[in-house]
Amino acid sequence: MSGVRRSRSMRRSSLRLAVVVLFSVSTAVLLPTGHAAAHVTVVPSQAVRGATVPLTFRVPNERSDATTVEISVRIPTDPPISTAAVRETPGWQAEVTRASAASAGGSGQPAVTTVTWRALSAEAAIDGDQFQDFVVLLGPVPETEQVVFPTRQTYSDQQVVSWDEPPTSDGAEQARPAPALWPVDAGDETVVDGHGHGGPVGSGRSTDGAMSGAALGVAVAALVVAVAALLLALAQRARPARPLPTALPPLPGRHIPPRPPAEDAT
């Protein structure tokens, strides 16, 4: 009977292990991955130097108890960006603020300093389960290594969240990263999934979409393995244990009858 108990114990251990692995992998697949899924971003994240390009500022709402009613993007002025044409966003009012011509680096055109969008009603505000895209045509793209757009997100209870931390040299994730654009020369664009989301060629940067896609593929593969292990453990548990024999069967061979008792000689 010790063999039966040992077999049952091994099946229970296998089942517990499969359940733990399945839960862990499912959690990794389904839960959001930190700040990268929630902060304000700009799409695309690279553009050709000197060009005028449409930039989309994607704003998710991080709170379930308040809505986003205003988003304000600060435009760097050194070197200046002189063109800003805002695409209409239903339910929102856009405002472009410019500096004086004297502070525009001698270009003779006022530099754009901020672009702000304000919700016109509570219904238009960004809810906790929503995000909103705000599009502005900006140019010329500066002749710099990167362009950082510090952004202020205002909630309906007047809380202000500043996304103003510039990218780090080692690519580490910031707590409040600012949207950033990487200018490149013509022909050096890195196109990922049909959009220029990556950093400059040779920079070692990659897009959030590409990274999350690869991670999701690995997680799904691990999930499949875990499900298979769980099904195998359940099948083994459902299979009845084979009882051990209580006595060894007789060995095959020729049957020899017992010798009759000897008679006493008289």
Which pLDDT score, from 0 to 100, does residue 258 have? Answer: 66
Which SS3 state, helix, strand or coil, does residue 91 take?
coil
Counting Cβ atoms within 10 Å, is residue 227 exposed (0-12), middle (13-18) or buried (19+)? middle
Q: Which strand (E) or helix (H) includes residue 74? A: strand 68-74
* Residue 126 DSSP label: B
Whether 116 contacts 92, CB under 8 Å: no
Q: At what angle do helices 208-238 and 2-30 cross, to 10 degrees?
A: 160
* Residue 103 DSSP label: G
Give the span between the Cα atoms of 171 and 154, in whole angstroms.
27
Bridge partners of 115? 73, 96
Q: What are phi and psi of 34, to 5 degrees?
A: 65, -150
State which amino acid sits at residue 226. A
Which SS3 state, helix, strand or coil, does residue 89 take?
coil
Contacts of 175 (CB under 8 A, 6+ apart): 35, 165
pLDDT tens digits, the chain, 266 residues: what are they? 555 555 555 556 555 555 444 444 444 444 444 444 579 999 999 999 999 999 999 999 999 999 999 999 999 999 999 999 999 999 999 999 999 765 545 556 789 999 999 999 999 999 988 999 999 999 999 999 999 999 999 999 999 999 999 998 887 888 999 999 999 998 876 644 333 344 444 333 333 443 344 445 545 555 655 656 666 666 666 566 566 555 556 656 555 666 666 666 55
- Tokens in use for 22? 């399945």
Contacts of 253 (CB under 8 A, 6+ apart): none
Which pLDDT score, from 0 to 100, does residue 206 have? Answer: 37
